[in-house]
Amino acid sequence: MKVYQTKEIRNVAIIGGNRVGKTTLAEAMAFHGGVVSRRGTVEDKNTISDYREVELERQQSIQSTVMYAEYQGSKINMIDCPGFDDFIGETIGALRVTDTALMVINSQNGVDVGAEIQWRRTKAMNVPVMFVVNQLDHEKANFDETLHQLKEYFGGSVMPLQFPVNAGVGFDSVIDLLQMKLLKFPANGGKMVVEDIPANLADKAEEMHNALIEAAAENEESLMDKFFEEGTLSEEDMIKGLKLGIANRGTFPVICTSARNDQGVERLMDLILKNCPAPDEAPAMKATNGNEHKCNAANPFVGFVFKTAIEQHLGEVAFIKICDGEVVKAADLLNTNTNTKERVSQLLAFAGKNRVEVEKAVAGDIVATIKLKSTPTNTTLVAKGEDVIEPTVYPDPKFRTAVRAKNSADDEKLGAALNEIRKVDPTFLMEQSKELKQMIISGQGEQHLNIVKWMIEKLNKIDIEYYAPKIPYRETITRSAEAMYRHKKQSGGSGQFGEVHMLIESYYEGMPTQTKYPIRATETYDLPWGGKLIYNNCIVGGAIDARFMPAILKGIMEKMEEGPLTGSYARDIVVNIYDGKMHPVDSNELAFKLAGRNAFKEAFKNAGPKILEPIYDVDIFVPSDRMGDVMTDLQGRRGIMMGMDNEGAFQIIHAKIPLAELNKYSTTLSSITSGRASYSMKFAEYQQVPVDLQSEIIKKYEEENKDEE
C-alpha cells in the first residue's frame, strides 16, 4: 500500500439504525476499493466487516469495524458501526476520529429509531452528515416519503443530490443533480453509464437542481455574489459550496443507493472524495493543555488510541488516529497518559478481518498496531512533548445487574473474562462491590449485557447467571442518643475489659457544637462512601486512656461500614466519647474496639435511624406522541418531574428517580415507546426512603440474614 498524504485521505463513519444495510454498503465500498474481489453478504456470513462469532450468529454488528478502500488515488477509511443504541459507545468512538458520518436510511421504512438517536450524537459531537438512502430496489421503497421524513426530522438543510428514476423492483437509475445527468447502473453492479436526463423528468430535475445551487451558494459569500450575477453556478462551484456546507453542518446531502446490488456505491465514493472534508479541513483534535492538532504532517507525531480490540492470532490491537506528524514501523513513542515508552512493532491497515502491513502513515490516517504494553483506549502517543488528547466521553451506564459463576471455582476466570471485555468496551463497567458483596456489571441496556453473557459462556466457557443487584443504601440518624457498653471477658489469666459511654448526633453542615460534654479534641473524616464522621474526645479525669481512643474509633468505623439497619454504609454522624472505665490489667485495644462498636450500635438504633437511597438525574428523550405513556410509567417509579425541554420532534423529560426503581428501565422504556425513546442517567444525591418502604427494606434484610445463618 502506498503512503497516502493527508489531502488524499477521507475518514467516514457508517452509522444508522439496525438492518438498514450499513455492513452491505461497507462491503460494496471495499469491493470498489480493491480490498475484496467478491462481495460477501450478511446472510451468507462472509462479509469482511461482521466476522466475529457473535455477529455471525446474530447477523448484526456488535462492534465497530475499521475498514478502508483505495479509490481514485485516495484512501477512504470507513468505520462500520452497530445500529442498536445498546452499542452506542462504538459509534461515539468512531465519530470522534472521523470527519463525516454516512447516515444510512432504509428507503422502505424511512427515518427509524436508530437514525433519530444517532443524529443526536452527530449533533452533540458536531460531525457532518451525509444521508444515504439505501435499499431502493425493495418493492416497498418510497424515496419521496423518505425525503419528506428526513426534512421533517432533520430540517430544511437536508438537500438531495440525486433522486431515483424507478425506485422499487427493477431500480437501476438515478438523476444526479450535480452533473445533471441520468446515471444508469447494471443489474448486479459494475460501471455506471451516464446518459442525458429523459424529457419527462427534465422539469423536476431543473427545479431540484436550482434548489441545490441556492443551497450551495449560501455557504460562501463569493458564491452567493456569483449566483446573483449569473443566476447559476458551475458544477465545480457547487461542489465547493457543498463542501463548505457539509463541513459546517449547514448542508446535509442525500445520495441514492442499492448497496446489495452495488448500485450507486461508486458515485457515492466519488462524492465522498469531492465533498467531504479531508482530515486537515476538519475541526482539530484538542489536547487537555489547550493545544490543537490539525493533522499537519510536518509536525511531530501525535496519535490518539480511539479503539481497542482483541483479535484472534494477534491479541490486543490498538487503533490509532494520527492527529499530527507521521509514524513508521519500529518507531519509539511516549505514552503521555502514563509517561512510559512504547514501540510500534507493526503498523497495520485494517479492513475488517483482512489487514495489510504498512511501513509509514501520515497525519489524518487511521492505523493499528499490536503488542503495546499498557496503552488502552483514550491514550495519547507522541514522538515528543507532553500533550494528552482530550479523552472521548462515553455515556454513563443505564442497566446494571449482579453476576456470578454457577461454579464458584470459576470466580477468578470470570473476573479475568470481564476485565478483557472492559478493555475493548468503554461503556461496560464492572465492580466487585465490598459494600454489596456482589459483582456488579453495568452497560447501556439489557441487550448489551446479554451479549456480555453470550461472550463469557461461548468464548470463555464459563457458565454464569445474572441476578438482582442490591441497592447501595446509606444509613444515618435524625436525633441524638446516648449509650454505654461494657465488654468483659474472663477466661483464666488476663482477660478483656473496656467500657465506653458515647453520645451520637446527626451531622449537618453548620451544626452547633454540643455543650453537654466538654470537647478536648476533634477529628473529622470524609468517608470514602460519602458524608462525614466527626469523632470528639470528651474524656475528662482519665476515665479512658488516650491510647485506647483509636481502638474505639476503629470499632465505630467497622460498624459504620456495615450499618445496623441493612448492612449499608452509615454516614453523617457525630460521635462524642464522654466516659468509660478501664482495668489496670485486663484493658486492651481489642476490648475497647468491641466496646466502641457495640455502644455505637445501641446508640444508633435509639437515634431515629433512617435509610437513604441513591437518586439519579434522568433525562428521557421521548417522541411527543408517547409522552403520556412515559409520564404514567414515571409516576409508578416514584419519579419527580424537574422540567421539560423540546428538541425537534422530541420532548426531553428531566426527572429524579430512585435507583431502586430503575431496574430494567431501558427495557420497559423501549417497550412502551416502540424503541423510539432513549435516556441517560447520572447519580445526583441520597434522599430518605419513605417510611413504609424503609420498614420493608429492613424486614427483607433481616430475613436474608436469618436465612444465611
Q: And the C-alpha cell for 708?
A: 444465611
Residue 306 is part of a domain; what is its CATH number?
Answer: 2.40.30.10
Q: Model-level pTM?
A: 0.89
Residue 289 and residue 188 share a domain: no
Rounded to the nearest 10 degrees, the angle between the axes of helix 221-230 and helix 235-247 is: 150
Amino acid at 475: E
Q: For residue 275, tell me if it sits in a domain.
A: yes
19-44 confidence digits (pLDDT tens): 899 999 999 999 999 999 899 999 99
Dihedral sign of CA atoms 394, 399, 400, 405 in order: negative
Q: Which helix (H) or strand (E) holds 225?
A: helix 221-230
Q: Look at residue 132 in the predicted model and tell me its pLDDT.
A: 98
Residue 626 is part of a domain; what is its CATH number?
Answer: 3.30.70.240
Mean pLDDT of 368-394: 95
Using the predicted structure, report yes or no on whether residue 648 has a pLDDT greater than 80. Answer: no
What 3-state DSSP class applies to 110? strand
Q: Identify the band that residue 707 occupies on the pLDDT scale cut at 50, 70 and 90.
A: low
Amino acid at 163: F
* Cα distances (angstroms) measured from residue 607 to each of 439, 523, 569, 574, 691: 33, 21, 16, 12, 15
Residue 602 and residue 625 share a domain: no
Residue 462 and residue 597 share a domain: no
Contacts of 442 by beta carbon, 8 Å cutoff, 6+ apart: 397, 398, 399, 400, 401, 428, 429, 430
93-134 confidence digits (pLDDT tens): 999 999 999 999 999 999 988 898 899 999 999 999 999 999
Mean pLDDT of 643-648: 85
| Dist. CA 256–CA 264, nearest whole Å | 6
Q: Which helix (H) or strand (E) holds 635?
A: helix 627-635
| Dist. CA 294–CA 325, nearest whole Å | 10
Total domains present in the chain? 5
* Cα distances (angstroms) measured from residue 351 to each of 4, 49, 313, 633: 16, 8, 16, 45
Residue 245 and residue 118 share a domain: yes
Q: Look at residue 709 in the predicted model and tell me its pLDDT.
A: 43
Q: And the C-alpha cell for 494?
A: 488476663
Q: And the C-alpha cell for 83?
A: 445500529
Q: And the C-alpha cell for 361?
A: 502513515
Using the predicted structure, report yes or no on whether residue 492 has a pLDDT greater than 70. Answer: no
343-379 confidence digits (pLDDT tens): 999 999 999 999 999 999 999 999 999 999 999 999 9
φ and ψ at 360, to 5 degrees?
Answer: -155, 150
330-341 confidence digits (pLDDT tens): 999 999 999 999
Q: For residue 194, tell me if it sits in a domain.
A: yes
Residue 43 and residue 82 share a domain: yes
Domain that holds residue 584: 475-608
Q: For residue 388, tell me if it sits in a domain.
A: no
* Cα distances (angstroms) measured from residue 493 to each of 586, 589, 591: 9, 17, 15
Q: Look at residue 227 in the predicted model and tell me its pLDDT.
A: 84
Q: For residue 412, tell me if it sits in a domain.
A: yes
Residue 547 and residue 631 share a domain: no
Using the predicted structure, report yes or no on whether residue 75 has a pLDDT greater than 50. Answer: yes
* Cα distances (angstroms) measured from residue 696 to each of 536, 660, 693, 701, 703: 34, 13, 5, 9, 11
427-464 confidence digits (pLDDT tens): 999 999 989 999 999 999 999 999 999 999 999 999 99
Residue 673 and residue 620 share a domain: yes
231-243 confidence digits (pLDDT tens): 888 889 999 999 9
Q: And the C-alpha cell for 683?
A: 447519580
Residue 452 is part of a domain; what is its CATH number?
Answer: 3.30.70.870
Longest dimension (CA), the chain: 113
Residue 115 and residue 27 share a domain: yes
Average pLDDT, the chain: 93
- Other beta carbons within 10 angstroms of residue 427's beta carbon come to 22
Question: Vertex 144, ends 142 and 145: CA angle to 5°?
Answer: 70
Q: Look at residue 440 in the predicted model and tell me its pLDDT.
A: 97
Q: For residue 704, tell me if it sits in a domain.
A: no
| Dist. CA 6–CA 251, nearest whole Å | 24
Residue 666 and residue 563 share a domain: no
Using the predicted structure, report yes or no on whether residue 294 has a pLDDT greater than 60. Answer: yes
Contact 194, 182 (CB under 8 A): yes
Q: And the C-alpha cell for 699?
A: 424486614
Using the predicted structure, report yes or no on whether residue 708 has a pLDDT greater than 60. Answer: no
Helices (H), 359-435: 411-424
Q: For residue 697, tell me if it sits in a domain.
A: no
Among 46, 82, 26, smallest CA distance to 268 is for 26
Residue 184 is part of a domain; what is its CATH number?
Answer: 3.40.50.300
Q: For residue 230, tell me if it sits in a domain.
A: yes
Residue 590 is part of a domain; what is its CATH number?
Answer: 3.30.230.10
| Dist. CA 304–CA 322, nearest whole Å | 7
End-of-domain residue from the set 281, 300, 335: 281
Residue 644 and residue 545 share a domain: no
End-of-domain residue from the set 355, 382, 409: 382
Q: Look at residue 624 in the predicted model and tell me its pLDDT.
A: 85
Residue 433 and residue 358 share a domain: no
What 3-state DSSP class applies to 194? strand
Share of the chain above pLDDT 70, in %: 99
The 3-class secondary structure across 440-496, one letter per residue, is EEEECCHHHHHHHHHHHHHCCCCCEEEECCCCCCEEECCCCEEEEEEEEECCCCCCE
Among 174, 220, 214, 215, smallest CA distance to 197 is for 174
Residue 218 and residue 141 share a domain: yes
Contact 411, 365 (CB under 8 A): no
Q: For residue 137, tell me if it sits in a domain.
A: yes
Share of the chain above pLDDT 90, in %: 85
Q: Look at residue 493 in the predicted model and tell me its pLDDT.
A: 67
401-421 confidence digits (pLDDT tens): 999 999 999 999 999 999 999
Using the predicted structure, report yes or no on whether residue 50 has a pLDDT greater than 80. Answer: yes
What are 324's strand-pairing partners? Answer: 302
Q: Look at residue 655 in the predicted model and tell me its pLDDT.
A: 96
**DSSP code, position 287:** B
506-552 confidence digits (pLDDT tens): 999 999 999 999 999 999 999 999 999 999 999 998 899 999 999 99
Q: Look at residue 625 in the predicted model and tell me its pLDDT.
A: 86
End-of-domain residue from the set 382, 407, 423: 382
